[in-house]
Amino acid sequence: MLEKIKQLREIDKAKKIFLATIPFIILLMLYSLASTLRHQDNANDKILPSISQMADAFYIKAFVKDRRTDQYILWQDTFASLKRLAGGIFFAAILGIIIALHIAMLPKLDMLLSPFLIFISMIPPLAILPIIFIAFGVNELVKIMLITIGIFPIITRDLVLTIQKMPKQLITKAKTLGATQAQIIYTIILPQVTPRLINVIRLSLGMGWMLLIAGEAIASTEGLGYRIFLVRRYLAMDVIIPYVFWITLLGFLIDKTLYWISKNKYHWYCKT
């Protein structure tokens, strides 16, 4: 009996994986078809490079040292970009959680800051990008700052709502158990908000990547966004498309990792 249930479950799993791969295969097939057709017309077509051409270009970027800089370009770009993304999100998370805890715990601060925060969060970060670059220069910190400015209002607002939605009875209970104000914040509220923070970070990763690529495109000497905008000048689609794919894959993996963390370390959060 148990054996059979196990078998059925495995079949279900296989079915799930099979179905999930179908759209990817279709996309790949359509692309190959279009690429082949274009190459029949013009053997030197650069707009839709064949998959083997892209694999070659990607191989060179990833595993052949660049003669000019003596480095593996893909890894250099990836490392530079991830550092900025992580920095930007890290500062946004710290800023967001500090502001959110204070706003949620102090009603007067809520009145003072919340409307302002809602207003701020409506500013399209890309629109103030020139202001930031003009005011602060084009150094590394500014690219991190751009990401932070873009996503901290989202994180803050979401966490404030999460804390305000927490049952009031829990706070009362904590007080009857002798908790001080600081203990309420650090042992009752903060641990309950952490898994939500991970979720908001997952949701704002897309925005983070967008701001990263934009920042790198305008002022940088390395990074995934920089590379794409650099080789654009030579119509090097055989580099651009694998880079886009690589960025997408990285984003997907980061998302999956965060999901895995929240599912394992904060299993109670997913169940309530």
Partner 1 sequence: MKNTPLLEVDNVSQFYNNRRILENINFKINKGEFCTLVGPSGSGKTTLLQLIMGEQQAHTGNISMSGFPVKSPNIDRGIVFQSYALFPHLNVLENVMLGLNLQSRNNKVEHKLLLEKTFHYLSLVHLKDHAYKYPYELSGGMQQRAAIAQSLIIEPKILLMDEPFGALDPHIRDEMQVLILDLWEKNEMTVFFITHDLEEAIYLGTRVFVLSPYYQQKENKKSRNQGARILLDKKLSTHINSTEIKNSPDFFSMVSQIRNIGFNPKKTRLVDEFNTLHDQTK
Regarding 272 and contact with partner 1 (CB under 8 A), the answer is: yes
Q: How far apart are CA 120 and CA 154, in angstroms?
A: 10
Regarding 172 and contact with partner 1 (CB under 8 A), the answer is: yes
Q: How far apart are CA 271 and CA 263, in angstroms?
A: 9
Q: By the 8 A CB rule, do 27 and 51 touch? A: no
Q: How far apart are CA 64 and CA 58, in angstroms?
A: 10
Q: Which of 175, 185, 202, 218 binds partner 1 (CB under 8 A)?
A: 175
DSSP 34-74: HHHHHHHH-TT--SS--HHHHHHHHHHHHHSB-TTT-SBHH
Segment lying near partner 1 (by CB under 8 A), choices 42-50, 86-94, 98-106, 163-171: 163-171
Q: Which of 120, 179, 231, 244 binds partner 1 (CB under 8 A)?
A: 179
Q: How far is the CB of 183 from partner 1 (least distance, A)?
A: 6
Regarding 182 and contact with partner 1 (CB under 8 A), the answer is: no
Q: Where are the alpha helices (DSSP H) in 166-236?
A: 168-176, 181-183, 190-218, 224-231
Q: Which is nearer to partner 1, 172 or 221 (CB)?
A: 172
Segment lying near partner 1 (by CB under 8 A), choices 34-42, 105-113, 186-194, 245-253: 186-194
Regarding 254 and contact with partner 1 (CB under 8 A), the answer is: no
Regarding 264 and contact with partner 1 (CB under 8 A), the answer is: no
DSSP state of 123: S
How many residues touch partner 1 under the rule CB under 8 A: the total is 23
Regarding 265 and contact with partner 1 (CB under 8 A), the answer is: no
Regarding 206 and contact with partner 1 (CB under 8 A), the answer is: no
210, with CB counted inside 10 A (0-12, 13-18, 19+), is middle
Q: Give bridge partners of residue 65 from the DSSP assignment.
A: 72
Binding residues vs partner 1 (CB under 8 A): 167, 169-170, 172-180, 183, 187-188, 191-192, 266-269, 271-272
